Amino acid sequence: AASKIIVKEVKDVFNVYGIKVDPRHLSLVADYMTFNGTFEPLSRKGMESSVSPLQQISFESSLGFLKTATIRGKQDNLQNPSSALMIGKPCGTGTGCFTLFS
């Protein structure tokens, strides 16, 4: 229910400006914001709860997140797409989630 409301509200905002967005993209954003059963804002504040320092750094306020991660000695398990792509590692989604054997 929350995902549908998020999609509707974001679509309504974009429609005011005549911007058309594929509903699948909005659905991805809504799923990300509600995947843990609660509403997680897609903002700097929401990123603060991420366990991945590299994901935080890739969002915005890079310097602030980098400073905090360094001071606190945070480590990244490189399991999310942002972290993996940042170091040149294929992410474990889409075509990167399996190995082809010949």
* Alpha-carbon distances of 7 from 18, 37, 48, rounded to whole Å: 16, 16, 23
Output the pTM of the full model. 0.59
What residues contact 49, with CB distance under 8 A and at least 6 apart? 40
CA nearest neighbour of 47 among 29, 59, 38: 59
pLDDT tens digit sequence for 56-96: 888 777 888 889 899 999 998 888 888 888 888 887 777 77
Share of the chain above pLDDT 70, in %: 100
| pLDDT at site 39 | 86
pLDDT tens digit sequence for 26-67: 998 898 889 888 888 888 888 787 778 888 888 777 888 889
Domain ranges of the chain: 2-75
Task: Give the number of other CB atoms < 10 A from CB of residue 83.
Answer: 21
**Alpha carbon distance 13, 19 (integer Å):** 9
